[in-house]
Structure 1
Amino acid sequence: MNRQILATEKIHSHIREQIAGSHLDIVQEVQKAIATHQLVVVGMAQNPFPRYARKLLDAAGIPYRYLQYGSYLSGWRRRTALKMWTGWPTFPMIFANGMLIGGTSELQALVKNGELQHLLV
């Protein structure tokens, strides 16, 4: 799969650093979490889907690290950096052993068919 990203040579040299550094802290924080935890859930307040994903993992007894960034009313610019980095358009963003596995419905399917346990080995 090749995800469409604007080629560097199509970005004016004067703004490349600005783009590369835009909310880099949030991306690096998530990168650090997925490098040190088997399962990471990235969510936001007020959104029921991250809460549902966490309940699903809690019920299955699967440990995870949860990172929360803002709510519907705050933090959207910072969260946009995560969307641009991953290509995943919604929250939660769930990572198993460093691999983006999707959101709540994808997690639910992986738990149901037992594949999540294999991804965490």
Structure 2
Amino acid sequence: MSEKEIIATDKAPHAIGPYSQAVKVGNTVYLSGQIPLIAETMELVIGDIKAQTAQVFNNLSAVASAAGGTMNDAVKVNISLTDLNDFAAVNEVMSSVFQQPFPARACVQVAALPKGADVEIEVILVL
């Protein structure tokens, strides 16, 4: 097995639990789930689901960059929403982040997310 490399950046929120922002093994990078926190203040973005989702993708992009990649290196995206009625709005933001061919994806509704967030997204990159 390839050696693990821990990826960290101050341009994304620091971990709020016992996990790393990302872990790189070989050319694969596993980005931990991000919620719509502002890195500098660790406060949730105030606004609709589009604003929250945009912040999540900004956070993920910062971590991807620290790993030497971009969101275009994404092969898998997992989205958790507290309300599946937000599905179309999240798709709209996601379509502005990724280019074709799009990564594989799952989207599920969950009962709750950390800090009362409405959306959490995790990504796997292959560099």
Greater relative contact order, per chain length (Cα 8 Å cut-off, separation 6+): 2
Structure 1 length normalisation: TM-score?
0.31
Asked which structure has the greater CA Rg, the reply is 1
Q: Give the structure with the larger strand fraction.
A: 2
Structure 2 length normalisation: TM-score?
0.30
